[in-house]
A and B are shown apart, each in its own frame.
Chain A
Amino acid sequence: MKLTDELKKSTLAALWFMFLTFPLLVIRVNTVTDTVEWRWSNMAFIGAGTFFMSIVWRYMIRKKNKGKSQASQDRASALRRFFEQKQNQIMALSILGIFTLAFPHIFSMYQTNIMISALIYVMLGLGLNIVIGLAGLLDLGYVAFYAVGAYSYALLNLHFGLTFWFALPLGGLLAFIFGIILGYPVLRLRGDYLAIVTLGFGEIIRLVLENWSDFSNGPAGIPNIPKPSLFGMDLSLQAHTVYLFYIIVGLVIFTIFFINRLQHSRIGRAWVALKDDEIACQAMGIDKANTKLRAFALGAMWAGMGGVVFAAKTTFINPASFTIWESVIILCTVVLGGMGSITGVITGALLLILLPEYFRAFAEYRMICFGSVLVLMMVFKPGGIIENVRKTYKFNAQAK
């Protein structure tokens, strides 16, 4: 009875999706030669695919409604208990540390370059995590601050010959100021308006960079941005890459340390409280606008520094690198990994940036996957793959 019911539901879903995708997936019109291409095989794939997907979908929904199963909770806590012991922690960290230090020497320059991009995204993800994960503000214009950082290094270097080490804090500072300028008026708005306004701001910055040619060289971009130098030594291309790798590793470690401390500070707890209940929070005497502004501007600062590193890595920037979809990719890394969780965001960023690099054959499916990741994670696992564990204080009545 139950089985036939399931089969019936899945068949219906399959038929529905075959109908739904019929005009777009099956027919392709070539308006130049006036021919129609019928791709019936696609319909068969959709039918079969939906049939199984709908079974999985309903199973997942049922599982989600039942609440977390005991087994998975046990598994998670066993892993957590393992890492709670001090010596295990030190062991794991030192293995990771040695691996990271040795990475550019074990693997090729190509691999190191990929890793540098991935680590830039880790940094951006951690920065956005302050805004979304901790303070609960949906910032869709995050890439604007990234652009501010990248362009401030490129332009300051072009006009004043500023080196990487001066540009790094300056880029962060400029992005921070931009964050305050934008955040001050808009942070009073409700959450969903904020998303649209930040999205608009991201587009404004990109359009200005594209159209104001005297300032930013327009769509042609700025070439020949120098890589960071090490005490004025002449480095080979390979040495430069290795050096940049260590810089970004250092920055990521600094970010982790900083955010970890931030999370447990007064302001970090205020963010989390504000995310849960704004009105209650204001009643407790927390300045809503000010607290949000700090999260917004700090997140922007990280994007700015990420932008400086990005400009130093690619040595060429143009507005095309800073589209709204870049913001969405960063959002995706945070959502996949787990909003608010540092390990989660790092895992998410590494997964989302490294996997497409190694599955080049599926490159065209990259964005469609990101889209599905956002929807599926929100529906089934809003906490991400590595959920953030809040500090909880348990009152144990039988302690005596």
Chain B
Amino acid sequence: MHETVFLVDDDPAIRESICDLLDSAGIRTCCYSSAEEFLSQLSSASQGCLLLDVRLPGMSGMELQGLLLERRVALPIILMTAHGDIPMVRKALKSGAVEFLTKPFQDRELLDSVRQAFTLNRTSRESEAAFQSIHQRMQTLTQREMQVLELVTAGLTNKEIGQKLHLSIVTIKLYRGQVMRKMQAESFADLVKFWQTVHPAEPHKDK
């Protein structure tokens, strides 16, 4: 699946010219004349970014942005308008738009924004994939192994963990080896990284 710019604008001249410009830069483009048309063809496999005019017939660009946010569609959004006022820009950026372009804009502005959005999309896809894989591996752990993982990543020694769980150090070492194997961790550092990927902002319980 290629990275694509999904362009939604009701003005055919704009659609044509932007499509051609992106084509000249080797970027694939799909054009839609309304938000509804775009939604009907949106799939979960869509990659790239959305280039969206604010003023559209029917559902407006801002409304579409809200809807995509609700549906957890990860496509970054670049908004365009022919009369951008500050409050509208602020609102759009607050609700997750990557960039706000005021028509008329230079080709460099557009291409930079698109590339930036692509990068963003790629990163978020990769981190999503990583998250999924760690999450899957974590599912295979037993309850006891989970407890050990949690305490290990919190920085406790084997002895401390043993005292906490009323188990011998030997048993803890056994569980720890099991966790390393199941999580496919090369080192203790990997283990900590995996834990943080799944629980990013959570402050640790024992700290």
Mutual binders A and B: no
Residues of B within 8 A of A (CB): none
